[in-house]
Chains A and B, each alone.
Chain A
């Protein structure tokens, strides 16, 4: 599913991420850990095709991202990858339904169709937001906003779900329920999961844990 090899990413003289070899299999659940500033977010941005490395190869779902241009990587991201952010990053001026459909609203190459609308409604229904679809984020509880963010990441039925510390700002109980929600949705779609986390209590739910500090050495299952 994911293969990073001989990768070097240098942002500044002070920050450099080196990965000799990282493989993640289809349907695998991988937790990414490491101290702040170690390059966790950089790693997932490289896998998502948001950043490009200085050298090395990144292949995700058979697509060689290092040889794809910005447009191709963007299209690939929309079609293949779902992203959940730490602060959810919902648009406060859109309704729940529109927030879930945002990947299609902002991408002219993948226009909104009735099928996507129906999928968004089904997703919202499945996470208990069926009657909240016309409300805006500021009218929702914290837990409801998390669910909207997860639905937005899953609406394009991605083969890879990347979550960047989604439980980082939550208490233990709320973090647990969000992880349960993500795992349940990933199970349904058999998607691969990469999740950045600082919470050691959550690691037991993953097939494998990758410490960014160890990536310079080989890290393959």
Chain B
């Protein structure tokens, strides 16, 4: 066995380019179906876990998947917004606790989540450092955001500009980081939490008045040059000047997390919201279940595809094996003439293919682990 292994290893390493190509081709054939299955399973369990922890989501009428994914995973793709008035009505009905979620903006690519302190209690989020936002302009970072951006309480983080070419649009808001959350392994780790009022400031609904003459030589005449700050900042000095215009009931929210008191409250809330012309009430487990049924249908199609790929790969491997044996006919004949039993030649070939499949499986396994570790974040963060 040792001698067979030596001969096999020598042969494979001598033909390392051909061996590598073969290993790569087999690895991909193994990797694809298993990685897709593992990812779908992981995606499914991650989505359902968070969905089960969220009783009801209320959002504007429109794409229910977008509303639920935005409310649960803070997707910042534009969705029809509901209003703060809806949240007020739910609170006043006494049927459920209403937690606003406003996720239209990002800060250095991470979603900015405007909410209230109730959200942290609801998700049982605890602080690793600092404190929760107390005033406008303060932010708390999810654990991954703090780690990836290397930020901690005391640092600042500007919101990403919305439209570089629209001078009338709201400027980015310089956020003061006051806390970092403990890691939870959920999408909360990849979000920046601010008060919903702060989110409305970024929206341009609320604003303050900054003193542009503070550093000006001539306080009578201020020129709009690059020397002026290109962002808004809420400080203790200008905090009092921040105010909102318009009816608070019309202020936008991406969604509202509703936590009903009991089943009866839930039923009543559903009935009321169903009657609404502008809002829809969604049960996240149902929406995610529906989403996953589409994903699983696609997966079944992919599985059928993988079977065909597997079949054609097997045909190719058979062809390669047959051609290889023909090419090595003289080598095997020499071995036989020297005194090698035919079964030894077969053992050599079996060992070769076993090593190739072992290497392919290991490569595919490493790829699957990498995909399962990396891709869910890419998919859920999209």
Contact = CB atoms under 8 A, between A and B. Distances in A.
What's the interface size class on B, roughly?
Answer: 10 to 19
A89 B332 CA distance: 10
Interface stretch (A28-36, A70-78, A197-205): A70-78
Interface of A: 45, 48, 50, 71, 74-75, 77-78, 83, 85, 89, 91-94, 98, 102-108, 111-112, 136, 152
Contacts of B338: 77-78, 83, 102-103, 106, 152
Closest 4 CB pairs of A and B: A93-B14, A78-B339, A106-B340, A89-B334
A92 B14 contact: yes
Contacts of A92: 14
B331 A106 contact: no
Interface string B333-353: 011111111001000000000
Given A77-B339, A106-B3, A111-B3, A93 B334 contact: no
Given A89-B330, A94-B7, A94-B10, A108 B344 contact: yes
Contact of B339 (A89, A91, A106): A106
A78 B340 CA distance: 9
B339 A103 contact: yes
Secondary structure class of chain B's binding surface, majority of residues: helix
Interface of B: 3, 6-7, 10-11, 13-15, 330-331, 334-341, 344
A131 to B, nearest CB: 20
Contacts of A48: 337
A169 B5 CA distance: 34
Nearest to A91: B331
Nearest to A105: B3
Nearest to B345: A106
Contacts of A83: 337-338
Nearest to B8: A93
B339 A112 contact: no
A102 B334 CA distance: 10
Contacts of B6: 98, 105
Contacts, number: 56
Given A89-B330, A89-B334, A105-B3, A74 B339 contact: yes
Nearest to A108: B344
Nearest to B3: A105
Nearest to B342: A70
A94 B339 CA distance: 18
Contacts of B344: 106-108
Contact of A107 (B10, B331, B339): B339
Nearest to B328: A91
Nearest to A45: B337
A152 B334 CA distance: 12
A106 B335 contact: yes
B135 to A, nearest CB: 74
Nearest to A74: B339
Contacts of A50: 336-337
Nearest to B339: A78
Given A94-B10, A103-B339, 11 more contacts: A50-B336, A83-B337, A85-B337, A89-B334, A93-B10, A93-B11, A93-B14, A103-B338, A105-B7, A107-B340, A108-B344
9 contacts: A45-B337, A74-B339, A85-B334, A91-B331, A93-B10, A93-B11, A93-B13, A98-B6, A104-B3
Contacts of B334: 85, 89
A103 B338 CA distance: 6
A120 B314 CA distance: 42
Contacts of A77: 338-339
Contacts of B335: 102, 106
Nearest to B334: A89
B339 A75 contact: yes
